[in-house]
Amino acid sequence: MRGKLINFNLDQLRKEVLLAMEKNVFNITIWDSAFNASPIFKEVCKMITEVDKDKLLNLECFVQADLIDEESAMLMKESGFRSVEVGLQSADTRVLTNVNRSMDLSRFIQGVRFLEKAGIKVKTDVIVGLPGDSLETFEKTMKFISENRLDPILFHLSLGYGTSLRKRAGEFCMALQQLSALLCSGEQHHDPE
């Protein structure tokens, strides 16, 4: 379990999609890293298909690729999903273990292929600087990306407030950068001439 999941309210979501369409908003992103892990994932897709009879919506979301099967991919395509982001983060099992993630990489690739076969564009998220990450583990991840013809998006590690990783930063000897403090202090920084 990666954390507590809260279900979408299907009636509220229906109202929001209808309102967006009434206001001529047809590009919708669902910001939920566990969208397809929701017990009502299929009902959400079916509801969107029912509401968007003219196929006007252009949807995107984040999904867990290792949970995607052929039926889920086709259901997403039918409901208007054109692109998704999948969170690989790293292809190194030790790095993933440090952030309490486990992933079957073959299931991950299989899920990506189901999405691609359905005609959904897939971007793969990679996070640089996770606990235990090194040049060697990063190269391993990029080799995995290359060998499997994935389309990567690279992110630097960000320790969000309230996250378990931020609370465990000392365990991994991670130091937080306080860039916002410099920006807010009004100090002027100049390069030496």
For the stretch 45-63, pLDDT in tens is 999 999 999 999 999 999 9
H-only helix segments in the chain? 10-22, 41-51, 70-78, 93-98, 105-117, 135-147, 164-167, 179-185
Looking at the domain covering 10-159, what would its CATH class be? alpha beta
Q: Can you give the pLDDT at residue 104?
A: 94
Least confident among 17-26, 37-46, 114-123, 172-181: 172-181
| Per-residue pLDDT at 31 exceeds 90 | no
More confident site: 155 or 113:
113
Q: Which of 58, 60, 66 is nearest to 112 (CA)?
A: 66
Domain boundaries, the chain: 10-159
In this prediction, residue 163 carries a pLDDT of 57
Q: Are 17 and 48 in contact (CB under 8 A)?
A: yes
pLDDT at 34 over 80: no
Amino acid identity at 116: E
**% pLDDT > 70, the chain:** 77
The mean pLDDT value of the chain amounts to 83
| Whole-number pLDDT of residue 49 | 95
pLDDT at 101: 85
- DSSP letter at 53 equals T
Q: How far is it, in rounded angstroms, from Cα 95 to Cα 171? A: 14
For range 182-189, the mean pLDDT: 45
What is the mean predicted confidence (pLDDT) over 81-92?
95
Q: Quick check: 165 pLDDT over 50?
A: yes
- pLDDT above 80 for 179: no
